[in-house]
């Protein structure tokens, strides 16, 4: 079609050319070259456009500083966003009023001032000796790490900054500054001469540099500040330093910090740890809480799990979407916590076995996100970088992983865990020649009180059962139903007569096997029977699946008393640990008992004076527990009372950790067996004359064997009386022989309430 006569001639020509030009993929090479050669040449942007490009679109923080005030004259968008200042603060005149040092932490300010001093020295040396290069380039290229908080990140943003002073020129120096500089440097200084004085404190050059701020000098030009965002790199470095420390995992505050950094680094909503021993795997969650949640799984149930897959591969595994894979119960529990994606970091070592290398799994660390596809290859790379440090941290907890090992002996467990991580044979964890200090605050009559609670609950449950059968018999007078009713009445009479050891289990089982399976039938017999069944079910609708009213009150009372006693003891433990580092184990059942071990094998600085101080402090702590027990009736609404006993032994024992038992330490050797026997039986001991318990409510009882032990503790009782803890009247007697133990004696004294009562 010919062009419109109204169209300009050049537009018509271009239109014809466009119609005649073949598609680009059908052109010959020569035609392509010809077309390119006829294109208009590229016009580079103006200087202003380049400046705008650097200011708006550069990913590197950049700023220009006034050399003497260090105020920002220019800053690009990336710099402003990184340090958290508004772009509008950098006015066109360059007078922003924002100084570099104002954005730094105190230690960062010191570092920047040192680097600035080197740059200024470079300019001064160029002014004094223009033909010489007197400072190494590396000295002027030293970076400084700037820390700043960004609201969109959980991590503290880190930026590595470098200063450039090529545009800095010294125009004039004060004579009071120039003359000393020339004197200390000489007419022809060398680089070695300058560096030797620069790093020598109180050298002439060093003194001159300290005087720079007090003498006038004139400079022109500016300082260029360039940076790189290094948050991930610095976070990883900090993590490595935390993890490779000997107590990085076992110290709660260090683990909390490491966990916080890990979650921030991977932008994770949750974190978890898995360990495996033999056929049992444990999953630890709620790592940001003081008490972790522990979930146990059999290794067999994990055969198809993502965790086992990561362990077998020995590499970091990224699961982008948990909803797209088949989950084992273990992984499902993680998904139920809100996880959508998962990053699994397996920690393995290599142990030598008969000349071949075999992998040994120490554990797995997991980072979970509540978003699908939250982790990428960069996260996998960062996780891989952390594997050696995480593995080193796990080595220290190989044998007693994440258990609450007392701080006084933790170092020995860490040593042994590290040995075994290198494939060395196990060695016993033992402490020799330690003094034992044992005491107990026992709730008197707790067994009888619990039996009364059991009796009350069983009677209530059987009364509910009788209501069901009687309602059934009123409409269905079957002979069998009548006999069943008589059986229930017989059981009620037995319960009223008293509770035996197995009664709680026996009677509940009787109802669960003979009454409860028939509830559906009973409920159909009559509305009254249905109501009785509903009442029974409602009363048993709890975790125990039985009437548990009186026992619940009892349990809460015992727990309340135990907590009061434990809190009191824990408060005193802080003072006792300050005397000398010692092992302390506290157990709470019906009351609390404590076991202390102290000696040179635990604290190398241990002395006899510290032993006597600790023994006296133990008595004061037990007396304070006694004072707490005076108020049980008011605080716990109970008539239960508490007795208090301290067992004395002046000879040492050896203790060792037995991995086959639940207790952390057991005494070893036949000579120490006697002490263990006494510990287990002494709270029920009676005196030989009155055949009454040697422990009495509101009193402190001391059990001993030798005259030397009594002389020492008689002095302690005198001190306690002088402090107002106990009365001055001391009751003494002999302990009736225990099985295998004879010759024990006791002293008993009444504990006094505080003087202000």
Specify the pLDDT at position 516. Answer: 93
Closest by CA position to 159, among listed 229, 221, 251, 63: 229
Is 282 in contact with 330 (CB distance < 8 Å)? Answer: no
pLDDT of 749 higher than 60: yes
Pick 463 or 670 by higher pLDDT.
463
What is the average per-residue pLDDT within 734-755? 89
Domains of the chain by range and CATH? Answer: 55-229 (no CATH), 232-421 (3.30.450.40), 446-547 (no CATH), 553-750 (3.30.70)
Question: What values do phi and psi take at 365, rounded to 5?
Answer: -110, 135
Predicted local distance difference test score (pLDDT) of residue 696 = 93
Between CA 734 and CA 737 the distance in angstroms is 9
pLDDT band at 660 (very low <50, low <70, confident <90, very high): low
- Average the pLDDT over 305-318 and give the result: 88
Band (pLDDT 50/70/90 cuts) for residue 11 is very low
pLDDT value at residue 175: 86
Please give the Cα distance from 231 to 235 (Å, whole number): 6
**365, pLDDT greater than 70:** yes
What percent of the chain lies above the pLDDT cut of 70? 82
- Residue of 618 and 348 predicted with greater confidence: 618
Residues 57-81: tens digit of each pLDDT: 788 888 888 888 888 888 888 888 8
Q: Residue 245's pLDDT band (boundaries 50, 70, 90)?
A: low
Residue 670 has pLDDT above 60, yes or no: no
Instruction: Give pLDDT tens digits for 580-606.
Output: 999 888 888 889 999 999 999 989 899
Bridge partners of 223? Answer: 65
User: In angstroms, rounded to a whole number, what is the distance separating the alpha carbons of residues 747 and 734?
Assistant: 9
Q: How many CB atoms lie within 10 A of CB 388?
A: 13
Length of the chain: 757
540: confidence class by pLDDT, cuts 50, 70, 90: very high
Q: What angle do CA 558, 561, 564 make, to 5 degrees?
A: 150
| pLDDT score recorded for residue 10 | 41
- pLDDT given at position 131: 77
Position with higher pLDDT, 722 vs 28: 722
- Is the predicted pLDDT of residue 18 greater than 70, yes or no? no
What are 187-197's pLDDT values in tens digits?
888 888 888 88
User: What per-residue confidence (pLDDT) applies to 183?
Assistant: 87
Measure the CA dihedral 307/308/312/314, to 10°. Answer: 20
Residues 6+ apart with CB under 8 A from 417: 395, 396, 397, 398, 399, 400
Q: Is the pLDDT of residue 668 over 80?
A: no
How many other C-beta atoms are found inside a 10 Å radius of the C-beta of residue 239? Answer: 22
* pLDDT: which is higher, 722 or 51: 722
State the CB neighbour count (10 A cutoff) for residue 650. Answer: 15
On the question of pLDDT at 355 being above 50, the answer is no
pLDDT at position 422, please?
Answer: 58
Say what the pLDDT of residue 439 is. Answer: 94
Q: What percent of the chain has pLDDT over 90?
A: 34
Q: What is the mean pLDDT of residues 110-134?
A: 86
Residue 564 contacts residue 635 (beta carbons within 8 Å): yes
Q: How confident is the model at residue 277 (pLDDT cuts 50, 70, 90)?
A: low
The per-residue pLDDT for range 464-476, each reduced to its tens digit, is 999 999 999 999 8
Q: pLDDT tier at 395 (50, 70, 90 boundaries)? A: low
- Structure confidence by residue, pLDDT tens digits, 671-680: 566 777 788 8
Residue 251: strand, helix, or coil: coil
Choose between 407 and 171: higher pLDDT.
Answer: 171
| Confidence category of residue 716, pLDDT binned at 50, 70, 90 | very high
The pLDDT mean for the chain works out to: 82
Lowest average pLDDT, out of 36-45, 83-92, 347-356, 435-444, goes to 347-356
pTM of the complete model: 0.51
Can you give the pLDDT at residue 671?
54
Please give the distance of CA 172 from its chain centroid, rounded to a whole number.
Answer: 58
354 versus 744: which is more confidently predicted?
744
More confident residue, 428 or 525: 525
459: closest CA among 546, 557, 384?
546
The pLDDT value recorded for residue 744 is 92
User: What does the pLDDT look like over 543-577, one tens digit per residue?
Assistant: 888 999 999 999 999 989 999 999 999 999 989 99
Residue whose pair of structure tokens reads 């994990």 in the numeric block: 302
Q: Work out whether the CA dihedral 739, 744, 750, 755 comes out positive or negative.
A: negative
Question: Residue 4's pLDDT band (boundaries 50, 70, 90)?
Answer: very low
- DSSP per residue, 418-472: HHHHTTPPP---EEEEEEEEEEEEEEETHHHHHHHHHHHHHHHHHHHHHHHHHHH
Model confidence at 724: pLDDT above 50:
yes
Non-local (6+) Cβ contacts of 616 within 8 A are 716, 719
């Amino acid at each position: 079609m010919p062009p419109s006569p109204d169209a300009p001639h050049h537009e018509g020509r271009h239109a014809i050319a466009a119609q005649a030009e073949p598609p680009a993929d059908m052109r010959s090479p020569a035609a392509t070259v010809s077309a390119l050669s006829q294109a208009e040449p590229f016009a580079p942007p103006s200087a202003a456009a380049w400046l705008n490009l650097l200011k708006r679109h550069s990913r590197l923080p950049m700023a220009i500083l006034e050399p003497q005030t260090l105020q920002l004259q220019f800053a690009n968008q990336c710099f402003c966003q990184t340090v958290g200042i508004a772009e509008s603060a950098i006015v066109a005149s360059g007078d922003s009023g924002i100084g570099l040092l104002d954005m730094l932490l105190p230690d960062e300010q010191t570092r920047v001032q040192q680097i600035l001093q080197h740059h200024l020295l470079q300019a001064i040396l160029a002014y004094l000796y223009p033909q010489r290069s007197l400072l190494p380039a590396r000295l002027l290229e030293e970076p400084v790490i700037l820390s700043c908080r960004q609201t969109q990140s959980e991590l503290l943003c880190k930026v590595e900054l470098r200063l450039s002073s090529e545009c800095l020129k010294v125009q004039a120096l004060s004579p009071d500054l120039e003359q000393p500089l020339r004197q200390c440097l000489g007419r022809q200084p060398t680089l070695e001469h300058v560096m030797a004085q620069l790093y020598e404190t109180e050298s002439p050059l060093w003194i001159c540099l300290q005087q720079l701020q007090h003498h006038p000098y004139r400079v022109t030009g500016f300082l260029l500040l360039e940076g790189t965002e290094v948050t991930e790199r610095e976070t990883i470095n900090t993590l490595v330093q935390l993890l490779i420390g000997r107590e990085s995992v076992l110290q709660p505050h260090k683990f909390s910090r490491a966990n916080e950094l890990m979650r921030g680094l991977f932008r994770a909503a949750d974190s978890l740890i898995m360990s495996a021993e033999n056929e049992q795997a444990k999953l630890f969650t709620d790592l940001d809480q003081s008490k972790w949640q522990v979930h146990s799984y059999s290794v067999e149930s994990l055969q198809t799990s993502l965790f086992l897959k990561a362990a077998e591969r020995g590499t970091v595994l990224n699961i982008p979407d948990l909803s797209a894979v088949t989950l084992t119960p273990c992984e499902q529990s993680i998904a139920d916590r809100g996880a959508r994606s998962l990053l699994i970091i397996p920690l393995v070592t290599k142990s030598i076995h008969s000349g071949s290398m075999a992998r040994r799994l120490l554990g797995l660390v997991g980072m979970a996100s509540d978003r699908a596809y939250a982790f990428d290859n960069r996260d996998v790379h960062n996780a891989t970088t952390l594997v050696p440090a995480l593995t080193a941290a796990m080595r220290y907890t190989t044998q007693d992983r994440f258990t609450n090992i007392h701080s006084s002996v933790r170092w020995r467990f860490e040593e042994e865990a590290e040995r075994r991580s290198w494939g060395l044979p196990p060695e016993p964890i033992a402490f020799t020649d330690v003094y034992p200090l044992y005491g107990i605050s026992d709730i008197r009559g707790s067994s009888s009180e619990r039996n009364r609670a059991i009796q009350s609950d069983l009677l209530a449950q059987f009364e509910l059962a009788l209501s069901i059968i009687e309602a059934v018999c009123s409409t269905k007078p079957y002979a069998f139903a009548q006999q069943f009713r008589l059986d229930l009445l017989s059981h009620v009479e037995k319960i009223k007569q008293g509770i035996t050891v197995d009664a709680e289990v026996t009677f509940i089982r009787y109802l669960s096997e003979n009454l409860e399976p028939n509830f559906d039938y009973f409920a159909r017999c009559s509305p009254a029977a249905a109501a009785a069944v509903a009442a029974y079910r409602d009363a048993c609708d709890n975790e125990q699946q039985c009437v548990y009213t009186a026992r619940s009150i009892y349990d809460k009372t015992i727990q309340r008393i135990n907590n009061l006693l434990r809190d009191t003891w824990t408060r005193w433990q802080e003072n006792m640990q300050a005397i000398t580092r010692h092992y302390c184990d506290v157990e709470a059942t019906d009351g609390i008992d404590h076991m202390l071990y102290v000696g040179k094998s635990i604290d190398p600085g241990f002395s006899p004076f510290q032993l006597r101080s600790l023994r006296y402090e133990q008595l004061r702590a037990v007396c304070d527990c006694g004072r707490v027990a005076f108020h049980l009736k008011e605080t716990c609404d109970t008539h239960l009372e508490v007795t208090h006993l301290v067992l004395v032994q002046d000879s040492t024992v050896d203790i060792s950790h037995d991995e086959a038992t639940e207790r952390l330490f057991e005494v070893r050797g036949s000579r120490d067996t006697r002490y263990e026997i006494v510990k287990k039986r002494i709270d029920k001991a009676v005196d030989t004359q009155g055949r009454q318990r040697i422990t009495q409510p509101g009193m402190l009882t001391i059990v001993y064997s030798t005259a030397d032990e009594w002389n020492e503790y008689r002095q302690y009782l005198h001190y306690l009386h002088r402090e107002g803890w106990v009365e001055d009247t001391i009751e003494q007697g002999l302990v009736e022989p225990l099985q295998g133990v004879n010759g024990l004696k006791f002293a008993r004294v009444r504990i006094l309430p505080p003087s202000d009562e």
